């Protein structure tokens, strides 16, 4: 199993629960560290309902700040598909 598959397999159940219970979720990230552990990466803001673009940007900054500690990363966010053939 690839690192990306491991991240998806470990994070997707949580994302699915959020979608089932709330119908949405805020962007979140997972990473595999250089010692092969899977960790969740988050950011903290002072807003109740932050914009997804801001959270994604903050996650990227947080991931870059510790890029030497991660071998693989994934950012999860909710999107709507307009054309199901894409």
Give the domain range for residue 47.
Answer: 3-76
* Whole-number Å distance between alpha carbons of 67 and 7: 16
In a domain, 85, yes or no: no
| Mean predicted confidence (pLDDT) in 57-83 | 91
The dihedral of CA 8, 67, 80, 15: what is its sign? positive
Model confidence band, residue 84 (pLDDT cutoffs 50, 70, 90):
confident
Q: pTM value?
A: 0.82
**Cβ atoms of residues 3 and 72 within 8 Å:** yes
Decide if pLDDT at 45 tops 70.
no
Q: What's the pLDDT at 46?
A: 64
The total number of structural domains in the chain stands at: 1
In a domain, 32, yes or no: yes
In a domain, 10, yes or no: yes
Decide if pLDDT at 3 tops 70.
yes
């Amino acid at each position: 199993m690839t690192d990306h598959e491991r991240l998806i397999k470990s994070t997707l159940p949580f994302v699915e629960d959020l979608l089932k219970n709330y119908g949405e979720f805020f962007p979140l990230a997972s990473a595999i560290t250089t010692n092969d552990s899977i960790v969740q990466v988050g950011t903290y803001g002072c807003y109740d309902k932050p914009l997804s673009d801001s959270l994604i940007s903050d996650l990227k900054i947080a991931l870059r700040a510790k890029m030497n500690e991660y071998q693989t990363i994934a950012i999860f966010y909710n999107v709507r598909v307009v054309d199901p053939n894409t």
